Structures are given as structure tokens and as C-alpha cells.
């Protein structure tokens, strides 16, 4: 049956807001409507992007604090457990990413499994997750940059430009500047961003390798006894904290339309980045708890403090520089993921379609500039600590939906080609959902309330704008076709909507 014709924004609202768009329609839509992103990324680019998003300055802090307050030396097992849950989720992402190699990640996959409204809610919550994360990272970068200036050069910035009004200043200028630099890199070309990320990841891993090399000769097995001072519950509590140190691997899936061979390389990038991050977290945790008693690690710089105790006090300045580098690449990748998510939603008409236009270099210039201004204003002027946990809850929501989506597509479309298949079905997605549900129990009631309020606001936006402008199941606007007739891809979009 032919899809209804849409003449413009004022056309009749979609009669079925839960209509499902097939994977073929998602691919056809990416090829025939909106802008076209430039394919330039390879396997190593994707792994570096994933590691660059996951491994931030927190590896120099979270490992020690979690050991001191949650798990003791068994924080090593906590990171293994958290990494295992992430691998389960990554396996689910990999199947859907290889089947639907277009921008949007969990948002796009939800469209193909549960329909438009659930997809919009996933995208809406991920939008907040990325925005809060980007602003938080920019503010954290500013603090570390100022600390680095003072430590290395004895220089301090005036208070007026060191923080927003809530911190007694006027504007957090370093945060605004770093956001501007990130936008400039992404607007120029995504391949340049990938080169920058790979360089910064290499530097970060080099510093972590230095930390391990310095600490390894000074390991004292006695510091690992007792290994589980907080018992099995301590390992679980440590894993709950450690899990959120892994967030970011899903950003790799948003790069599908800029990957040269997405069906082959996306699973490598998603799963490979989680495995590399797990190895790094476990190595640093083992050295840290082996060099110093775990009870001494509850401070602002546990790695530097522990190594200073064995005569490597100079490492503190190196770690400070490495932390600035880690946050730089983290901000770059979080902002990248946000632009590609909104790009996909704009192409589907759920947010203003003008945002999906690309420039001559194949980058969404207008979208990057708009989001850059928003993030710069938030990071430069506003406090965001009270909503930081929404980053975690939004990610878990997306993870659960993706795991459910794998099972749904296996039942509704079992014959579809799957370049990567999630093993041990349905055990892997069930365990992924169970792990995420367990982690969700750690959130405070106020965090859940904020999540519900934000989601309700998303429903209102969908009903008042997204539903009326959605292009799913309708031919593309005439301006997208040079002949006035739907292109082959547009016909596939119309025919692919359930």
C-alpha cells in the first residue's frame, strides 16, 4: 500500500506514531535524503574513537577512590565485571550496527525495532546525555587546565574568567574556548578529528604504560591482603561505580556513515574499544593497589600520591598533563556523538531538518555550530552538577532498548543478513538487560524523577513538532529530488515503513 503523500509541515499528523521503519528504509533514507557524510574512517580510527571516549581523566582518580571506598584490591575484579557487562551490551550494538550502518546509533536501531515514539525518546534522552556530558567535560577540562598552568608555570587566571556566576566568576572562558576548538576540528573534517583522537589516545596510553612501568617493580603482595575487605558486596559496589567509567563506546556506532566499511569495522570498533579499556583499567588498578595500601587512595590524586610514595613525585605533573589530554579527546568524541545523533533525528524530520545539511567537506557544519554555541553557553555560565547522573541513566535506557531490539529483530526478521551475529542468543541480551537493570537500582529517586520529567517533555515535543514533521513512510520533500519524482531510495523509504 502506498505511503500517504506529505506536502509540508502542516500536513496531517502521522496516524501511527509507533510505525516501524525497516533497516532497508533506514539505509535508503540515509542515501537519498538530507546531507551525505564523508566516509573516511577505518578500523583503527573506530577503536581509537571508542577508547578516546571511554578513557578520560577519571582513570587517574576513579580507580583509587573506588578501591578505597568500595572494593579494596578486589576493584580489579570490579572492573572485570563492569567490563563484562559492557561487552554484553557491545555485542548487541555490534549486530544492529552491522545491519544498519547509518548515523543515529541506538536511536536508529530503535526505529527499526520498536517504532517512532520509542526511537524519539531514546534519541531525546541520549541528546541530554551527550549535552550534559559535553558541558561537564568542558568544565572539568577548564579546572585541570588551570591547575596545569599553575603547576607548570606558576600562572593563575583571573577569577572573573575562571568560572561561571555560580562559582563567583563571570564566565568560564577556558571551557568556552575548548568547545570552540573542538567545533572547529569537527567542522573542518571528521578524518582530521580521527587523527587528533588517535594522537591523543596514543599519548594517554603512553602515560598509563609509564605509570604501570614505574609502579610494577614496587608491588607489594601484602597490599593485596585482604583481597576482598568489603566482601562480595564490595566487588558489586565497585562494579556499579566502575561501569560508568566505561560509558562512551556507543559513540562508535554513531560514526557508521563515515566508516569506509561499516558492516565489517563497526563491531571491531565497538567491542575492541571496550576490551582495550578493560585491560587499561585492570592494569592501573592492579598497580595502584599493589603499590600502596588501598585505604590511602581516597584522595583527589590517588595515582600521583601512590607513585610519589615510591620516589616518583614528578609523575604528578605528567598525570596532570595527561588528564588534560584525556579530557580533550573525551570532549571531542562526546560532541561528535551528539552531532551525529541529532543529524539522524533531523534527517527524519523529528527535529528541524535544516540541521542535517552538510558542508563541502561532508560535515554537518550548521548543526555543529548550533550545538557548539549551546554547549559553550552551558559550560561557560551554568552549574550542571545536579543533573550529571542523567548521563548515566540515559545511557542505561539506550543500552536496554538496544538489547531488546536484537531479540525483537531475531524474531520479526530472522532471515535478514547479519554481518555480525550476537552469540549465545538470547542469553547475551538477557544478561545485558539484567546487568543494566541492576545498575539502575543504584540511582537516587530524584534522578529517576528528573528522567521521567525530561522524557515527558520529549513526548510533548514529539506530539507538537516531531509527529507532524516526521518523514518516515512519506516521500522526501520535492527539493531533495531533481526531477520532482521520488528517487529510488525515497520509494524504498515509503515502502519500508511498517
Which CATH number fits the domain that encloses residue 427? 1.20.1740.10
Per-residue b or e along 453-486, where b marks 16 or more CB atoms closer than 10 Å to that residue's CB: ebeeebeeebeeebbbbbbbbbbbbeebbeeeeb
CB 313 within 8 Å of CB 306: no
Does residue 3 register a pLDDT over 60?
Answer: no
Gyration radius (Cα) of the chain, Å? 23
* Lowest-pLDDT choice from 14-28, 154-168, 419-433: 14-28
pLDDT digits (tens, 9 = 90+) for 50-76: 999 999 888 888 899 999 999 999 999
Inter-CA distances, 411 with 119, 403, 415, Å: 19, 13, 9
Q: Which residues lie below 8 Å from residue 495, measured CB to CB, with a gap of 6+?
A: 3, 25
Q: What is the pTM of this model?
A: 0.86
36 or 369: which leads in pLDDT: 369
- 154, part of any domain: yes
Give the mean pLDDT of the chain.
87
CB 220 within 8 Å of CB 70: no
CB 306 within 8 Å of CB 137: no
Give the residue carrying C-alpha cell 570490579. Answer: 78
How many domains are there within the chain?
Answer: 1
- 12, part of any domain: no
Does residue 342 register a pLDDT over 60?
Answer: yes
pLDDT-derived band at 425, boundaries 50, 70, 90? very high
pLDDT-derived band at 31, boundaries 50, 70, 90? low
- 484, part of any domain: no
| Residue 189 pLDDT | 74
Rounded to an integer, what distance in angstroms lies between the CA atom of residue 270 and that of residue 49?
9
pLDDT-derived band at 386, boundaries 50, 70, 90? low
- 495, part of any domain: no
Mean pLDDT, range 71-86, rounded to an integer: 96
Does residue 486 register a pLDDT over 50?
Answer: no
Q: Determine the length of the chain.
A: 498
- 496, part of any domain: no
| Residue 15 pLDDT | 52
- 84, part of any domain: yes
Of the candidates 436, 458, 355, the one whose C-alpha atom is nearest the C-alpha of residue 118 is: 458
Domain that holds residue 125: 35-415+422-464
- 19, part of any domain: no
- Burial of residue 304, with CB atoms counted within 10 A of its CB: 0-12 exposed, 13-18 middle, 19 or more buried: buried
CB 317 within 8 Å of CB 232: no
pLDDT digits (tens, 9 = 90+) for 168-219: 899 999 999 999 999 999 988 778 888 999 999 999 999 999 999 999 999 9
- 385, part of any domain: yes
pLDDT digits (tens, 9 = 90+) for 293-332: 999 999 878 998 888 888 888 988 999 999 999 999 999 9
CB 291 within 8 Å of CB 309: yes
Mean pLDDT, range 288-295, rounded to an integer: 94
DSSP 68: I
DSSP 405: H
DSSP 200: H
Amino acid at each position: 500500500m502506498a505511503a500517504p503523500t506529505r506536502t509540508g509541515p502542516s500536513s496531517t499528523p502521522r496516524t501511527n506514531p509507533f510505525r516501524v521503519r525497516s533497516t532497508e528504509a533506514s539505509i535508503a533514507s540515509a542515501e537519498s535524503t538530507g546531507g551525505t557524510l564523508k566516509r573516511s574512517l577505518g578500523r583503527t580510527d573506530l577503536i581509537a574513537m571508542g577508547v578516546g571516549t571511554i578513557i578520560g581523566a577519571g582513570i587517574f582518580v576513579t580507580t583509587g577512590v573506588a578501591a578505597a571506598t568500595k572494593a579494596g584490591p578486589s576493584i580489579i575484579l570490579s572492573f572485570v565485571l563492569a567490563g563484562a557487562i559492557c561487552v554484553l551490551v557491545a555485542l548487541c550494538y555490534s549486530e544492529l550496527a552491522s545491519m544498519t550502518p547509518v548515523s543515529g546509533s541506538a536511536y536508529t536501531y530503535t526505529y527499526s525495532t520498536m517504532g517512532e515514539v520509542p526511537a524519539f525518546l531514546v534519541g531525546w534522552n541520549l541528546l541530554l546525555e551527550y549535552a550534559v556530558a559535553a558541558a561537564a567535560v568542558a568544565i572539568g577540562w577548564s579546572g585541570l587546565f588551570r591547575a596545569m598552568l599553575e603547576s607548570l608555570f606558576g600562572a593563575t587566571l583571573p577569577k572573573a574568567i575562571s568560572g561561571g556566576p555560580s562559582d563567583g566568576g563571570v564566565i568560564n572562558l577556558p571551557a568556552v574556548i575548548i568547545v570552540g576548538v573542538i567545533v572547529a576540528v569537527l567542522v573542518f573534517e571528521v578524518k582530521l578529528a580521527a587523527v587528533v583522537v588517535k594522537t591523543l589516545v596514543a599519548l594517554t596510553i603512553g602515560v598509563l604504560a609509564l605509570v604501570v612501568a614505574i609502579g610494577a617493580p614496587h608491588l607489594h603482595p601484602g597490599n593485596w591482603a585482604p583481597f576482598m575487605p568489603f566482601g562480595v558486596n564490595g566487588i558489586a559496589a565497585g562494579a556499579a561505580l566502575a561501569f560508568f567509567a566505561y560509558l562512551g563506546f556507543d559513540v562508535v556506532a554513531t560514526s557508521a556513515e563515515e566508516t569506509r566499511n561499516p558492516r565489517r569495522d563497526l563491531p571491531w570498533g565497538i567491542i575492541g574499544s571496550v576490551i582495550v579499556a578493560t585491560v587499561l583499567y585492570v592494569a592501573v588498578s592492579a598497580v595502584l593497589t599493589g603499590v600502596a595500601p588501598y585505604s590511602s587512595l581516597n584522595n583527589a590524586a590517588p595515582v600521583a600520591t601512590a607513585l610519589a610514595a615510591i620516589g616518583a613525585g614528578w609523575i604528578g605533573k605528567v598525570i596532570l598533563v595527561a588528564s588534560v589530554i584525556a579530557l580533550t579527546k573525551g570532549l571531542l568524541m562526546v560532541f561528535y556523538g551528539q552531532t551525529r545523533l541529532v543529524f539522524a533525528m533531523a534527517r527524519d524530520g523529528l527535529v528541524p531538518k535544516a540541521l542535517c545539511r552538510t558542508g563541502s567537506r561532508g560535515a554537518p557544519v550548521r548543526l555543529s555550530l548550533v550545538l557548539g554555541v549551546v554547549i559553550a553557553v552551558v559550560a561557560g555560565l551554568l552549574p550542571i552538577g545536579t543533573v550529571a547522573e542523567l548521563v548515566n541513566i540515559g545511557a542505561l535506557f539506550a543500552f536496554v532498548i538496544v538489547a531488546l531490539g536484537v531479540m525483537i529483530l531475531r524474531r520479526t526478521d530472522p532471515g535478514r543478513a547479519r554481518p555480525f551475529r550476537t552469540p549465545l542468543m538470547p542469553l547475551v541480551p538477557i544478561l545485558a538487560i539484567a546487568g543494566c537493570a541492576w545498575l539502575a537500582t543504584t540511582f537516587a529517586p530524584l534522578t529517576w524523577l528528573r528522567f521521567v520529567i525530561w522524557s515527558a517533555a520529549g513526548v510533548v515535543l514529539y506530539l507538537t513538532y516531531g509527529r507532524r514533521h516526521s518523514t518516515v513512510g512519506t516521500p522526501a520533500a520535492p527539493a531533495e529530488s531533481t526531477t520532482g519524482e521520488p528517487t529510488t531510495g525515497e520509494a524504498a523509504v515509503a515502502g519500508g515503513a511498517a
